[in-house]
Amino acid sequence: MLSNAIIGLREGLEAALVVGILLAYLTKTGRAQLKRSVWTGVGAAIGLSVAVGAVLQQVSEDLSERSAEIFAGAMSLVAVGLVTWMIFWMRRTARNLRGELQGKLDTAAALGTGSVAALAFVAVAREGVETALFLWTSVSAGQSAVAGTVGALLGLAVAVLLGRLIMLGAIKLNLSTFFRISGAALIVVAGAVLSYAIHEFQEVGFLPGDDATAISLSSAFAKDTPLGLINSVLLGFSNKASWLQVFAWAAYVAVVMTVFLRPGSTPAKATDATDATDATQSPAVDATGENSDSAAQSSTAETEKVSAASAASR
């Protein structure tokens, strides 16, 4: 439940910020009539996400036990890959997210309402599909479907609330700090999913070492106990874990966390959520400093002109 809440919060806030940026920019530029197209794209993205989850569950139920284990292991690896990519993609693009989206929206608006809807659809569907895949993986790993769904919905609800408050200017959230902390948490959770994938492949004989037990947990770590919940969220181990599972989890977390948290791996300037979403911000003040540079260049040019005129008068 906790892992799904983390995913829901992280993915939901990203989607909420994207939608907020698009809507605010349409209002600022006098194209409020295109907001309906944005919501159409958002609705379609939500529908696709639900459909992906339903298809995954249906396919899993229709397969034999062995095939279902292979399918679950493969989808778990896909989930790990998507989550890892998402963490580093957001770290790289968070600073310039507003400018990129506004530029794409200008292009889409020139092409028509369908393009605007498509832009919103793609932006939100990416987050939604990742959430659906991760939720299905956690349920396949033995988590209660009800608990997993409730956790994801709670995370999404908090994300929507935070996104709304940010857009209204009621709160300020440092996005660099938020994405750094949530990214670190997701790395640990993704390691648990990787451990589960290794377990499934060992069960069907694709990987060796299923009998080489590294950890054997007591009844105190049963899934319905507090310690069992912590174990399932952070490590992804069941009552026992093989050496290969432990090594895969430790290696993934150590390598990815080191790269993610290394000095200089995040933008030097922290980006405040209001900077990322405030579409009414004056063009003279830009987070990238480009307008400030232009102003400085203009000032230098004017100074040179004055100096030249003074020299000519002499």
Inter-residue contact 93 to 86 (CB < 8 Å): no
Q: Whose CA is closest to 235, among 285, 274, 263, 193?
A: 193
Within a domain: residue 293? no
Q: Which domain holds residue 27?
A: 2-280
**Cβ neighbours of 258 (radius 10 Å):** 10
Q: Both tokens of residue 164?
A: 């709304």
pLDDT of residue 108: 95
- For residue 264, CA distances in Å to 95, 102, 258, 268 come to 14, 27, 12, 7
Q: What is the pTM of this model?
A: 0.74
Total domain count, the chain: 1
Phi, psi of 173 (to 5 degrees): -130, 125
Q: Quick check: 101 and 235 in contact, CB under 8 A?
A: no
CB neighbour class for 215 (10 Å; exposed up to 12, middle 13-18, buried from 19): middle
Please, what sign has the CA dihedral across residues 107, 100, 189, 42? negative
pLDDT tens for the chain, 314 residues long, are 677 888 888 889 989 989 999 999 999 999 999 999 999 999 999 999 999 999 999 999 999 999 999 999 999 999 999 989 988 888 887 778 888 999 999 999 999 999 999 999 999 998 999 889 988 887 777 666 777 788 888 999 999 998 888 888 778 877 778 888 888 988 988 998 898 899 899 999 999 887 777 666 655 455 555 555 555 555 555 567 788 988 999 999 999 999 999 876 544 343 444 454 444 343 333 333 334 344 444 444 444 444 444 444 44
In a domain, 30, yes or no: yes
Whether 97 maps to a domain, the answer reads yes
Q: Are 43 and 173 in contact (CB under 8 A)?
A: no
**Neighbouring C-beta atoms of residue 172, cutoff 10 Å:** 11
Please name every residue paired with 213 in a beta bridge, in sequence order, or none if there are none.
242
**In sequence order, which residues have a C-beta less than 8 Å from that of residue 7 and are 6 or more positions away?**
83, 130, 131, 134, 135, 152, 155, 186, 189
Q: Is residue 129 part of a domain?
A: yes
Within a domain: 290:
no
**Considering the domain boundaries, does residue 300 fall inside one?**
no
- State the pLDDT at residue 292: 39
Where are any strands of DSSP class E within 99-162? Answer: none
Q: Report whether 142 contacts 60 (CB < 8 A).
A: no
The packing angle between helices 2-28 and 226-234, to 10°, is 60
Query: What is the reported pLDDT for 226?
Result: 58
Is residue 193, in this structure, part of any structural domain at all?
Answer: yes
Q: What is the dihedral of CA 228, 231, 237, 243, to 10 degrees?
A: -130
Alpha-carbon separation of residue 36 from 12, 167, 265 (angstroms): 20, 18, 38
SS3 readout for 169-198: CCCCCEHHHHHHHHHHHHHHHHHHHHHHHH
Residue 191 lies in a domain: yes
